[in-house]
Structure 1
Amino acid sequence: MCCDACKGLLLHSSLNDTNNLRTHVKSCPKKEKSSFAYQKTVHDFYSPLKSSPIPREIKFSVTEACTEFCALDARAFDVMRGDGFKNLAKTLFDADRATSTSSIEITDLLPHPTYFMNKFISK
């Protein structure tokens, strides 16, 4: 191994893992100028305290619904990252917003599966 700051060579073996590097970092003469003087943590990139315009309870219920969707319908969790799913979610959200009441039954809004069969057969 080589120190990025002072370019000193460090012994590495499977027995000491990265202990030599850790010890060297504490005493490296150039550590103040180096990039490892402060190791960033996950909190430097993501803070759970970030304010969100979405209330925590709503975010939690959506997360739970997405988890159930994937588990009950045997779908990959990655499906929610797809443009098709996002478009469907946005359309459903806009449909609810466009009505004067929020008492829409989702089963009344979604097309019946046979609609798709008939649509493709008729082509």
Structure 2
Amino acid sequence: MNKEDAKRVMAAAGAKAEEIGKPVCVAIVDIAGAMVLFERFGNTASYTAAIAEGKAAGSAFTGRASALLEQMAKDGSPVYGAIEEQLAGRRFVPRQGAVPLVQNGVVVGAVGVSGATSEEDEEIAKAGAAVLAAGS
């Protein structure tokens, strides 16, 4: 994923956020969880930036939607415990609102959203990810 890809993902996520009408932060990270692009849409709470990044980092690291990570945490899954150990000391938020970014069948990063409801955060993230998956 390059910067232009990230900009396309951000534009689609931002359009969905505006359609929903909620202020959110959107973070796009690479496969290692490093920030590629960040944008605040509207007047969000100060902590939403860190949450969006943490959701995205966990999703990129595991290649799974953060909603699944949240469910694994609630269920006490031993797999989740192993993931948590691997991510110790890194920003990681196992809450719904991030999805992996897949390009040519390969996970290249993730997009995380925070500021709306968890379901709306995920809807916004999926709108961004769809642009990259479609290759448009």
**TM-score, scaled relative to structure 1:** 0.21
**Higher helix proportion, which one?**
1
**TM-score, scaled relative to structure 2:** 0.20
**Higher strand proportion, which one?**
2
- Bigger radius of gyration among the two: 1
